Amino acid sequence: MGLHRLTGVTIGVPNVEETAAYYTDFGLTPTAGSGFSTVDGGEQLRIRHSRRRRLLSLGVGVDDPDDLARITSSLSRLGVGNRRDGDTLHTADPVTGVDVVVSVTARIHQEPTPTPPYNGPGVLSRPNVRAPGIERTDRVRPRKLGHVVFGSADQAATQRFFTEGLGFKVSDEAPGLASFMRCSTDHHNVLVQQAPVTFLHHTSWEVDDVDEVGRGATAMLEDHPERHTWGLGRHHIGSNFFWYLRDPAGNYSEYYSDLDCILDDQIWEPRVVAGEKSLYAWGPPPPPSFLAPEDLAELMTGSHDEA
């Protein structure tokens, strides 16, 4: 696969300063110009002013210029406009208007995190010592941007843009909910939901393990219980542990760990998973606001006013 990762996202919000403070608390490191970096992925979030919250742009990394040439041809066959600027290709999803920047860039290198020893029935992997997870005191910092989820008024057309145009692959599908697509070995990097209006649902950020998911969320909620949305739980599609929080603009951000990875496309079999099982394997049920944003009417009213 010439595609190999998400390079970053740019989100538009009406309250830049307040939202920036939230993502600093979340564990991202501020950079110049309202940018934020992860431990392994570099600058992967940018925040810009917008009259309504929305996904402005999405970055995708490829290995070499030949990948850009292939994508240019694929987009042209779909009748989608694009512009090549050296080692960068600019295009946009015709349905949602989300800008996509495809660039030749280095792959992410991640130093392995040692798996904590777990005790279990008949398996004493950690005799005479406490679990490492309870001894951690350092701040939780996301390792990389994992995926982004947004709504489209024509989910099928947006999916074609990503798969037939850009070269994403479908990992699994939940009919009527979303299509889980990947541009890396991670189970999914982009989810497109059927929705009456384009909106950003959430961004998802990888941490080391389930202890970091819990510690990160606990720290975020200590002085701001209103940030809580959904968790702790484990997804069925993708298998990852999750905890969702809400930023001041109304977007969700997710800490996750232990996501399925697909190294061999010939071995992986995409599934169609329906019903509640498509959302989670265990954990509390999702709140109604997770399935239908509370500000949906406002988003629909302001969808033609993008200044």
Q: Provide the β-strand partners of residue 205.
A: 145, 255
Q: What is the rounded average pLDDT for all residues in the chain?
A: 93
Q: How far is CA 43 from CA 36, 39, 142, 147, 209, in A?
A: 5, 9, 12, 15, 22
Q: Report if residue 113 sits inside a domain.
A: no
Mean local confidence (pLDDT), 185-199:
94
**E strands in the chain:** 3-13, 29-31, 35-38, 42-49, 54-62, 82-85, 88-92, 99-104, 144-152, 169-174, 178-182, 190-194, 200-206, 228-234, 241-246, 252-257, 271-272
Q: Check whether 175 has a pLDDT greater than 80.
A: no
Q: How confident is residue 293, by pLDDT bands cut at 50, 70 and 90?
A: confident
Q: Report if residue 183 sits inside a domain.
A: yes
Q: Report if residue 186 sits inside a domain.
A: yes
Per residue in 140-156, pLDDT tens?
999 999 999 999 999 99
Per residue in 106-165, pLDDT tens?
999 999 888 889 999 999 999 999 999 999 999 999 999 999 999 999 999 999 999 999
Nearest one of 231, 226, 283, 237 to 254, comparing CA atoms: 231
What CATH number is attached to the domain comprising 259?
3.10.180.10
**Gap between the Cα atoms of 172 and 192, Å rounded:** 12
pTM score: 0.95
Q: Report if residue 16 sits inside a domain.
A: yes
Mean local confidence (pLDDT), 199-208:
97
Nearest one of 205, 158, 151, 198 to 177, comparing CA atoms: 151
Provide the domain count of the chain: 1
- Name the residue range of residue 76's domain: 3-107+143-301
Nearest one of 154, 197, 177 to 295, comparing CA atoms: 197
Q: Report if residue 127 sits inside a domain.
A: no
The residue written with tokens 């009748």 in the block is: 79
SS3 state at 149: strand
Which pLDDT score is estimated for 307?
41
